[in-house]
Structure 1
Amino acid sequence: MIMGRSPKTPNDELDKFLLRMPDGLRDRIKAVADENNRSMNAEIVATLETIYPPKSMDVKLLAEFLDSLVGFSDDEGYAAYIATVNDAFAKTKHHWTVDPAWDGVVKFYPYATKEKSDKKD
């Protein structure tokens, strides 16, 4: 330890961000934080985590989806199902595209369409 300096704490390792807020917003955040028994910082972080979730996919949900691909007896029904899945993905904040190949391999294109991914190659 250097003389005159305190040891680093875990908070020293976190990203810090200075924020200017419009009049009254700080008071509204404080009121909600008090209702939720949180600090203002914890309330802001919880709100941001809700609005900006990590870009990931629930593994259990993915396994259920892959199980749902098994058992189609006709290509037309299978193609219609994949189209429905892709339409559902397109309506969410998680823009995945599913592309099943003839050999049974299912490719996922996160946050892009297959065509956009192919153009990058």
Structure 2
Amino acid sequence: MARARPGRGSDQFPLRLPEGLRDRIKAYAAYQGRSMNEEIVRILEREFPEPLAGGERIGELLEMLGALQAGKATDEGISKLAASLHDTIEGIYSGRVTGFDQETRRDISNRYQEWQEREFERQSDKAAAEYDAVEEVSLQRTGRSEKFVYEDGSVGPQYGKGSPPADIPPDEEFPLFILDEDDK
């Protein structure tokens, strides 16, 4: 097993990236004003959230609720409770929060899906805060947060490089493929 070098944390390790991926990450991170490490960690944390124990999570929510009921309600406290409650319900639904039987998980899942339908606009606003502008454009167009770093070092989506530019609204028509007269 490889040991961490002196002065370095034990969670560091060499990472072999496929050819060209390092350059794409570096260019995109620079474009967003982040380091390569920040960009990699940001995406890994979003894709691999830490599992939560159901009992502990419910206990934390009850403590927050108790503080609010005791007259210590602040806008920040209410926002924190709402965010924690949402994350817990979503975690039960997704399987991130453990300790619930299948029937309870199914009931919460059904109620959560109904809630998602009613709260779609709010969810869109929340997601917008999580993604940067280029990722938002990709999400609107494809449902994925992918981004592109082209051979010339530019970052996309971009006009003329196989994807719409970031400044064209997704509901506007955009020709992705330009056909020759012979192809019509």
Q: TM-score range by the shorter chain?
A: 0.3 to 0.5
TM-score by length of 1: 0.42
Higher RCO structure (Cα 8 Å, ≥6 apart) = 2
Higher helix share goes to which structure?
2
